[in-house]
Chains A and B, each alone.
Chain A
């Protein structure tokens, strides 16, 4: 079964540094998403992306965050200047369609640790 893959599985970064999290969505999927889960908290939506632009974003997704689909297969999340509170598990997801009856499929996540 096709799957969403994320790299790296664990990223350790100094506070203030830039970090790029990478995702390869399922190949025929058109919608892409990033979520995060801070330890002990709920999964939170960050951003959705369709047709090379952001469809929706949450309040968490401020100017420090950006997403890109640079080459038609990868989907990246960049955090420009990381803060301690960015430490979390980041999940990428993709779906064939945008909503009803098109569930989102998730990667195994990247654990981001900010020191």
Chain B
């Protein structure tokens, strides 16, 4: 089941630079997308979401972009900070359930 794909298992970024995490989905009927962040031994924490009626949503250092024609979304973090080091999950809300990507481990280098 590969309805939501995060093709980069890990990403390393210098502190202060931009982190870009990518996510692809297969079903054009999906209409609500979320990003969660997870630290070890903790549950996922909601970061930001976007509805399919928009192509961009911004919250502080976090911006999510949605390209419906490409079935692609991305999360931009700028500037990246050491506390951003975590696993980031892309998820799609589909009928009361979240369908998850495999996650991307983001490492922020000092």
Contacts and interface: CB of A to CB of B under 8 A. Distances in A.
B60 interface: no
Contacts of A65: none
Given A99-B32, A101-B49, A56 B97 contact: yes
Interface residues of A, number: 27
A105 B41 CA distance: 16
B51 interface: yes
B97 A58 contact: yes
A91 B97 contact: no
| SS class, residues of chain B in contact with chain A | strand
B26 to A, nearest CB: 14
Interface stretch (B15-23, B68-76, B77-85, B88-96): B88-96
Given A98-B96, A100-B93, A106 B44 contact: yes
- Which residue of A101, A104, A105 has the most chain B CB atoms within 10 A of its CB atom? A104
A111 to B, nearest CB: 9
B106 to A, nearest CB: 17
Contact of A43 (B41, B93, B96, B100): B100
Nearest to A111: B41
A105 B46 contact: yes
A109 interface: yes
B43 interface: yes
Interface string A23-36: 00000000101010
Interface of B: 31-32, 34, 36, 41-46, 49, 51, 89, 91, 93, 95-103
23 contacts: A4-B43, A6-B43, A33-B96, A33-B97, A33-B98, A42-B101, A42-B103, A43-B44, A43-B100, A44-B100, A48-B96, A55-B96, A56-B95, A58-B97, A99-B32, A100-B51, A100-B93, A101-B51, A104-B46, A104-B98, A106-B43, A107-B43, A109-B42
